Amino acid sequence: MTRTVLESKSKTVVIGFDEPFCVIGERINPTGRKKLAAELEAGEFGTVEKDALEQVACGAMVLDINAGVVYNSNPNPNETEPPLMTRMVELVQGLVDVPLCIDSSVPGALKAGLETAQGRPLLNSVTGEEERLELVLPLVKKYNVPVVAISNDDTGISEDPDVRFAVAKKIVERAADFGIPAHDIVVDPLVMPVGAMATAGQQVFALVRKLREELGVNTTCGASNISFGLPNRHGINAAFLPMAIGAGMTSAIMNPVRKVEMEAINAANFLMNHDPNGGSWIRFAKVLEAVEGGQSFPEAAAAHASSGRAGGRRGGRARRAG
Amino acid sequence: MTRTVLESKSKTVVIGFDEPFCVIGERINPTGRKKLAAELEAGEFGTVEKDALEQVACGAMVLDINAGVVYNSNPNPNETEPPLMTRMVELVQGLVDVPLCIDSSVPGALKAGLETAQGRPLLNSVTGEEERLELVLPLVKKYNVPVVAISNDDTGISEDPDVRFAVAKKIVERAADFGIPAHDIVVDPLVMPVGAMATAGQQVFALVRKLREELGVNTTCGASNISFGLPNRHGINAAFLPMAIGAGMTSAIMNPVRKVEMEAINAANFLMNHDPNGGSWIRFAKVLEAVEGGQSFPEAAAAHASSGRAGGRRGGRARRAG
């Protein structure tokens, strides 16, 4: 059984075929968030703190950290992003004890994040592009961390799922050349918007099954892409996630501060027999009751978080080699 | 591709691997509804009328009709149920133009329903019990109708999914002896409550896939059984239905007057590429908007029903042989 092991200072999270779905909180990312970008350039971290606490309270088991701000004062991210990544990683791991996902297109920022993160973070990401493979895989090997592998290459993103599978296969094989095992590759098969491509859902479900059966890898995705441009997006997301989980998807990079999507994931965990005795479901139902009673979802979730959460298992951390 | 063809006076509904999920409205059934049972014994049909109109407005493509009232004035259902079935079928098909599902454990009531229903109704149900096979299959053959086949037999309901598969296989084979094709058998693999049996969800998903791949049959279920005894049942149902649809389930006998479940089904149809261009989803999103605005779900659904609904396709009815 494929198991991708992530660690924070004292907590282990396993992404795996026999584990609850791993929710990777996507909020700490200035891309498309002008206000957050401005705050970060000004050295203000209030939003980052709030996003860290809220996401974990709502059920994020891992937090993505992206420091991709283009400073007005200095347009060279190779200079500005690494120290910002260091600062953000230090801040977040001082606040919450969950593994991190170090997310950048800037090599220096990936390295800074890897140097600063405690435990065993997830690296985000490598693609099938030659330059990226040669840049990221040595870091993955050196720091002995798992990595998200996105199924596009130098030709771009293919609409043909067979091509996207072939790209994933190439990355897994190239990683093996570096001595990186398949269980440390978490493939993102790329989710297209179903409003633009009618087969988008079916493509993902078939790809996830194939990636699992033929390459033995865990999978992830940017889940909300599926509903891009459509009305009532949460309704599409909340059906997509259980269907993807049923097909074998084991994680998603998503906004966990969303009741509807988190309810769907909690129910799907139960239906996959990844919630023994329904303990997590019953706790989540209490959160929903509190929301009915007028509390916000993060407030209600935080109030019930002390009683434990799916997948948030504690355990001794094995020291990371490298 | 397996296609189970149902007909009303002028409408054809196909249950099939390449069709939108077929919602069979379960409401017109006095089992566990004391008030409805008393009304029916008193010859009052107001609730039946309301249930027929509301269910179709909300998206039911087929209506189940069960006349199983034990009269206080006459405890013999063999005498009372057949004329009541006739009356209810006449009433419902006078009000709404959808195929019916004739549901009874009383042979005379099945016959009365088959005699009275226009078009090609679904018969509900045969089981693997010897007596039931010998009683129902000749009716299925004589009236040339499809039938729901429930996977229990004289030994009861097995908790072992392999046994339930074997019972379904036996029914399909026995039907073939009568000249009834597999595409006219809609198998109910039996959904257990996940609160009582942790593997209940996985059992159904695996069984549905196997029934489809090995026997080539359509499937149905009493969808809400999955959440029996649990808090926030709609949340479980709304994840179960998309997962079952993803596994290949093609219909369910369920309450369609439930926004959350119908939203999940509409989204799943879209994600299975059974809602070309998302037209049904976009219409459904308007219903949800009207509900947000304060309308009840049946009211909002009825207001938008005139613009068409998934699967409610009109077409010339072929005359039924036999």
Q: Does the pLDDT value for residue B319 go beyond 70? A: no
Q: Does the pLDDT value for residue B307 go beyond 70? A: no
Q: Does the pLDDT value for residue A4 go beyond 60? A: yes
pLDDT on residue A125: 97
Q: What pLDDT digit, counting tens, does each position of A103-157 carry?
A: 999 999 999 999 999 999 999 999 999 999 999 999 999 999 999 999 999 999 9
CB nearest B271 (choices: A194, A263, A271):
A194
C-alpha distance from A74 to closest chain B C-alpha (Å):
44
Tell me what percent of the residues of chain A surpass a pLDDT of 90: 93
pTM for the full predicted model: 0.94
Q: Does the pLDDT value for residue B21 go beyond 70? A: yes
Q: What pLDDT digit, counting tens, does each position of B280-295 carry?
A: 999 999 999 999 999 9
Q: What is the mean pLDDT of residues B225-243?
A: 98
- Tell me the residues of B at the A interface, defined by beta carbons under 8 Å apart: 194-195, 198-202, 205, 226, 230-232, 235-236, 238-240, 242-243, 245-247, 263-264, 266-268, 270-273, 276-278, 281-282, 284-286, 288-289
* Residue boundaries of the structural domains of chain A: 3-274, 281-312
Q: What pLDDT digit, counting tens, does each position of B53-95 carry?
A: 999 999 999 999 999 999 999 999 999 999 999 999 999 999 9
pLDDT on residue A319: 43
Put simply, the answer to whether A240 touches B271 (Cβ < 8 Å) is yes
Put simply, the answer to whether B231 touches A285 (Cβ < 8 Å) is yes
Rg of chain A on CA atoms, in Å: 19
Q: Are A99 and A90 in contact (CB under 8 A)?
A: no
3-state secondary structure string, chain B?
CCEEEEECCCEEEEEECCCCCEEEECCCCCCCCHHHHHHHHCCCCHHHHHHHHHHHHHCCCEEEEECCCCCCCCCCHHHHHHHHHHHHHHHHHHHCCCCEEEECCCHHHHHHHHHHCCCECEEEEEECCHHHHHHHHHHHHHHCCCEEEECCECCECCCCHHHHHHHHHHHHHHHHHCCCCHHHEEEECCCCCCCCCCCHHHHHHHHHHHHHHHHCCEECCEHHHHHCCCCCHHHHHHHHHHHHHHHCCCEEEECCCCHHHHHHHHHHHHHCCCCHHHHHHHHHHHHHHHHHCCCCHHHHHHHHHCCCCCCCCECCCCCCCC
Q: What is the ipTM of this complex?
A: 0.93
> pLDDT class for B306, splitting at 50, 70, 90?
low
Put simply, the answer to whether B201 touches A271 (Cβ < 8 Å) is yes
Put simply, the answer to whether B198 touches A277 (Cβ < 8 Å) is yes
Put simply, the answer to whether B230 touches A268 (Cβ < 8 Å) is no
CB nearest B230 (choices: A194, A230, A278):
A278
B68: its two tokens = 């199983």
Nearest 5°: CA angle at B53, between B49 and B57? Answer: 170
What would be the CATH architecture of the domain defined by A3-274? Alpha-Beta Barrel (3.20)
CB nearest A271 (choices: B194, B231, B245):
B194
Phi-psi region of B199 (alpha: psi -120 to 50; beta: other; left: phi over 0): alpha
